[in-house]
Amino acid sequence: MLIVDSQIHIWQHGKMSTHHRQIPTYSIDDALDEMAQAGVDCAVIHPPSRLGDAVNAYAVEAVRRHPSKFCILGHFDLRSPDRERIVARWREQPGMLGFRFTFNQPDEKSWWTDGSLDWFWAACEREDLRVGLLATGGNMAALGKIAERHPRLKLHVDHLGRGGGGKGIVDDAAFADLDTMLALAQHPNVAVKMSGAPSYSSAPYPYRNIHGYLRRIFEAFGPERCFWGTDITRMPCSYRQCVTMFTEELPWLQGRDLERVMGGAIVDWLGWRRPAA
């Protein structure tokens, strides 16, 4: 079974937010070593936006060195005067299959609804680029409207539609507004990353108190639109436990459904043409 992590960060000489490992570098080789120990075949790199656009280049280096192991959802300054040209030429960078944005800065939160990104959604739809978003409850309705206006634009929601971490909200409270995300399943061009699941439970491994929420998400979106992942540098457990939580502890996730969630679906969703290892 192909196992693909739908989200990891790598970085050099930087300082990540406090809910991530407080180390100056989490390198390409660091990621490969942990992936090998956990039985993870490949991963989608999300260059950390807090470290600026230069981190895209390090992700590209990872793809150049290991094209069967990594692809990228990158980012850039959406206010750049060259923004439309940047989107049109995005795939010229090795491994770049689309974008990932958080819109979590004060001056970005209005972008969900104020129309300032209408050009971006249209450009990504035209160029067949995927877009991952850290959308939480308050932005789900806006995301649904974007999906409806751009039916050929493939969008996916990060981290089960929960926050990216660091807020300390876990267990039932973390999933209190889950229905607002489940409503997005009506849009066939919206998927969800089941990434970061352990971080939303205060229970010990295998975090059984949130398994019911995982099942509801799976039943709403199905095996072609649910993507296992970790965001490993902020997980409260080992990489291997992130894997086995899904492969060994969810009796309702079996067979082909398991294979799709653990890797096959994200590869197809992104259109990742992986070269032979």
Q: What CA–CA distance (Å, rounded) separates 19 from 5?
A: 19
Residue type, 271: G
Strand ranges across the sheet with 70-74: 4-8, 42-45, 70-74, 96-101, 130-133, 155-157, 190-195, 226-229
Rounded to the nearest 5°, which phi and psi values hold at 9?
-115, 145
41-98 per-position pLDDT tens digit: 999 999 997 767 778 999 999 999 999 999 999 999 999 999 999 999 999 999 999 9
The pLDDT score that the predictor gives to residue 165 is 64
Q: Which helix (H) or strand (E) holds 240?
A: helix 239-247
- Nearest alpha-carbon partner for 158 in 87, 75, 84, 91: 75
- Report CA-CA distances (Å) from 79 to 111, 120, 132, 256: 11, 10, 18, 42
Domains of the chain plus CATH, in order, are 4-270 (3.20.20.140)
- Look up residue 109 and give its two tokens: 């939160």
Give the predicted TM-score (pTM) of the model. Answer: 0.96
- Look up residue 186 and give its two tokens: 């009506």
Label residue 31 left, alpha or beta by phi (over 0 means left) and psi (-120 to 50 means alpha).
alpha
Is 32 in contact with 45 (CB distance < 8 Å)? no
What parts of the chain have a pLDDT lower than 50?
none
Is the bond preceding residue 206 a cis peptide, omega within 30 degrees? yes
The pLDDT score that the predictor gives to residue 275 is 85
b (16+ CB within 10 A) / e for 45-84: bbbbbebeeebbebbbbbbeebbebbbbbbbbebeeeebe
Beta pairing class for 130-133 and 70-74? unpaired
- Report CA-CA distances (Å) from 171 to 67, 168, 177, 214, 271: 38, 10, 12, 12, 34
